[in-house]
Chain A
Amino acid sequence: MKKHTIVALVQDRPGVLSRVIGLIRRRGFNIESLAVGHSETPGVSRMTIVIEWEDVEQVVKQLYRLIEVLKVSDVTDDPVVEREMTLIKIHAPGPKRPEIVALSEVFDAKIIDVGANTMVIEMTGSPAKVQNFIDVIRPYGIKEMMRTGRIAMVRGVRGHNAEEFVENANGHAERVPVMN
């Protein structure tokens, strides 16, 4: 089964995340990653969902049935930039520190905290690059790790923006008619 990246714009209301996840859970598929946050339009949140699924067109249609879902796209085969961030707390006794710093530089990762025997590294990049860095740094001893999950954006003018939606008087998103 192919991995798919789905981008969804949803109204920022209680329960909307639960509805989206419930719809995917219903068919017994696992969500590989999920990132949710504000979009460029107030009142509209943006989700990036990564799932392994055969019949993604059906998922997209089902998601549209949810009242609070405004726009859904499967961007898997689109030219997209994808990023993920991770925080890694690594075992870093004195003698190992130069190696870890050097490796971090190679991957454009930042050391953001240094403790007595640990360092916290922040790394941002494509999901593959993040994975690569984790593989390289793992032998030093990862004490804690958190990945944000993938966020995705289609390159160029054609995109998946919320600009057809503007905030109305109630603070909710409202669709602006677009000419086709």
Chain B
Amino acid sequence: MSDKRTGAQVMCEALIRNGVDVMFGIPGGAIMPFYYAMWEYRDRLRHILCRHEQGAGHAAEGYARASGRLGVCIGTSGPGTTNLVTPIADAMMDSTPLLAITGQVGSHVLGKDAFQETDITGITMPITKHNYLVKKAAELPYVFEEAIFIATTGRPGPVLIDITKDAQQATIVPDWNIKLDLPGYKPNYQPNRKQVREAIKLLLSARKPLIMAGNGVIMAGAVEELRAFAEQTRIPVITTLHGIGAFPEDHPLSIGMPGMHGWVHVNRAIQECDVLFNIGGRFDDRVTGKASTFAPHAKVIHVDIDPSEIGKNVKVTVPIVADARLALQAFLSEFPEREAFAELHGHASDWMEHIREMQSKHQHKQQYLNRSETEHMSLPPHDVYAALTRALNTRGNYRVVTDVGQHQMWAAQLIDWYRPRTHITSGGAGTMGFAVPAALGVAVAHPNDTVWAVCGDGGFQMTNQEMATIIQEGIKNVKVAVINNGYLGMVRQWQELFENKRYSGTPLSGPDFAKLAEAYYWKGITVEDSSQVEAAIEEAYATDGPVLIDFRVEREVNVFPMVPQNKSIGEMILETPHES
């Protein structure tokens, strides 16, 4: 090969240079030159053909979230790019490093309503960390390098590169001598030591301190540091929905998940605590409830890599802008001698005793599973989670991808979580249809793990076409559990509790999911009774290939505890009010 390359070849080489080896996408007119070039690099750049660009985007997200690497998705111009909008928005909300590569019409017709032309840089401006419209092939080496740098550093996020067809086709001699020129982008990784000492002082004087761990801990790879921090201070640890896996749930200091469907003792502890140490979480409204009533007695220490998150939702006493790992390392190195912790340890031990006492009075995992209410049901959803949890714990090496809704909250509550990047869900955006395609991405990232996509019958019907992709790619380690209750269950729950049971638009039918799976050359299993659950899960494990289990669960079971929207997290509903 001479030094000359087409723009499309430059794109492939730029991706390879930046460590990309797998991409999820769909070709079309404006991106065809890239696909033409991709063929030459196919031994180094694996392309996975999805069935819908939304599926490609979520697969790339799943890959990124499970591996910590950049996820790459591809679409053609027009509808190919607009179909990527949902995963891009999802990645923005959940700080997922995602690169979207889209083809654009030729630069000579740009802005003239050409066939399949959409202003995708305009559309995605508010939902990307940054985006680019490239009209000249010579710019491609620099733009790809900068885009990937931006997507994967600081607070990660989605970046979109829209490349006109003529820029992909043009021949150039690429200049790989790249020096990034980003005067306005300087993420701060190292914490301010003075603030760290200030925070330590606050922690040492606390009587009822709490640690809240979020997604930032997992993304920064700070799990070991968090454990050391917690063990040294003996402060109880809360893990948010995205913080699940940042701290093992069987650790004596772990108390569980807060928020709208968090545990009673966790939310009560937040409302009572005097110092709240939030690391890598953004005080989402699903965590805080009505923000003005959140943690009313607490002085808040907030560690976040994004300065704009600090003070956004909750008033902060000690702000620390830093990478979670470097921040925790700074804390560990600034900690005083062991004796200085004596008083804190005493208070923390009393405090933990108090929290455990609250926990014993209210339902937590085990009690919750044995509720008398579920006794008459042939298949309460909780029986599925109990059996699944047993299987996961016995077999290990699992990743669970959840969709959005009741099944998602049950998974977060009821499965035992121990390791980072094992729980992957759409949190901030709450994107139904996330689970099946994301599970595809997770399975590509971790071919030796069993990847369970747990979804509802609503979300499953949004993106289940990716079952074909999974078969075509020969991916065997995906198992789908549909928690099928014939409703858009979470909306139905709100209608039951707050809208006088007006089930407007929530009853939902579907095909026979097991037969649908068979049509996709998967194994399909239908489960209608609790007695069949364990055998079905065993069969899924025993099958050398993808399996779908349609769990036809009791239709109207609610997720509890629940904090009604815009209420204080102290105001929890614990069961369905009995009709008088």
Contacts and interface: CB of A to CB of B under 8 A. Distances in A.
Is the pairing of A and B real?
Answer: yes
Interface of A: 10-11, 14-15, 18-19, 22-23, 26, 57-58, 61-62, 64-70, 165, 168, 170, 172-175
Contact of B122 (A18, A23, A168, A175): A18
A70 B133 CA distance: 21
Top 6 nearest A-B pairs (CB, nearest first) are: A61-B308, A175-B183, A70-B184, A67-B130, A67-B185, A172-B181
Contact of A174 (B122, B133, B181, B306): B181
Given A18-B122, A23-B126, A174 B183 contact: yes
B271 to A, nearest CB: 25
B307 interface: yes
Contact of A67 (B150, B306, B308): B150
B125 A22 contact: yes
B293 interface: no
Contacts of A69: 184
B181 A66 contact: no
Given A15-B121, A23-B126, A64 B307 contact: yes
Contact of B184 (A11, A15, A23, A170): A11
Given A66-B184, A67-B150, A15 B125 contact: yes
A58 B313 CA distance: 10
Contacts of B122: 18
A11 B125 contact: no
Contacts of A66: 184
Nearest to A62: B308
Given A10-B184, A18-B122, A65-B129, 15 more contacts: A11-B183, A15-B125, A18-B125, A23-B126, A58-B308, A61-B310, A62-B308, A67-B185, A68-B184, A70-B183, A170-B181, A172-B181, A172-B183, A173-B183, A175-B183
B312 interface: yes
Interface string B293-336: 00000000000001110111000000000000000000000000
Interface string B174-215: 000000011111100000000000000000000000000000
B308 A22 contact: no
Contacts of B182: 67
A66 B121 CA distance: 14
Of the listed residues A57, A64, A65, the one surrounded by the most CB atoms of chain B closer than 10 A to its CB is: A65
B308 A64 contact: yes
A57 B319 CA distance: 15
A57 B311 contact: yes
Interface residues of B, number: 20
Contacts of B185: 67
Given A58-B308, A65-B308, A67-B150, A19 B181 contact: no
A64 B311 CA distance: 15
B129 A67 contact: yes
Given A19-B125, A22-B125, A23-B126, A65 B306 contact: yes
29 contacts: A11-B183, A11-B184, A14-B133, A15-B121, A15-B125, A15-B133, A18-B125, A19-B125, A22-B126, A23-B126, A26-B126, A57-B311, A58-B312, A61-B307, A61-B310, A62-B308, A64-B307, A65-B306, A66-B184, A67-B130, A67-B150, A67-B182, A69-B184, A70-B183, A70-B184, A170-B181, A174-B181, A175-B183, A175-B186
Contacts of A165: 183
Nearest to A18: B125
Nearest to A11: B184
A165 B125 CA distance: 26
A67 B157 CA distance: 12
Q: Could you tell me the dominant secondary structure of chain B's interface residues? A: loop
Contacts of B307: 61, 64
B455 to A, nearest CB: 31
Nearest to A68: B184
Of the listed residues B181, B182, B307, B312, the one surrounded by the most CB atoms of chain A closer than 10 A to its CB is: B181
B76 to A, nearest CB: 22
Contacts of B125: 15, 18-19, 22
Given A65-B306, A65-B308, A168 B181 contact: yes
A14 B552 CA distance: 54
A125 to B, nearest CB: 33
A70 B181 CA distance: 12
Contacts of A168: 181
Nearest to A173: B183
Contacts of B308: 58, 61-62, 64-65
Contacts of A172: 181, 183
Nearest to B146: A67
A88 to B, nearest CB: 35
Nearest to A165: B183
Nearest to A164: B183
Contacts of A19: 125
Contacts of B310: 61
Contacts of B311: 57-58
Contacts of B133: 14-15
A10 to B, nearest CB: 8
Nearest to B121: A15
A64 B185 CA distance: 8
Nearest to B183: A175
B141 to A, nearest CB: 13
Contacts of B121: 15
A32 to B, nearest CB: 21
Contacts of A23: 126
Contacts of A61: 307-308, 310, 312
A18 B150 CA distance: 19
B556 to A, nearest CB: 38
Nearest to B125: A22
B132 to A, nearest CB: 9
B372 to A, nearest CB: 48
B53 to A, nearest CB: 23
A23 B377 CA distance: 50
Nearest to B157: A65
Contacts of A174: 181, 183
A145 to B, nearest CB: 31
Nearest to A23: B126
Interface string B497-516: 00000000000000000000
A160 B308 CA distance: 21
Nearest to B131: A15
A57 B181 CA distance: 27
B394 to A, nearest CB: 45
B297 to A, nearest CB: 24
A18 B130 CA distance: 12
A65 to B, nearest CB: 5
Nearest to B308: A61
A21 to B, nearest CB: 10
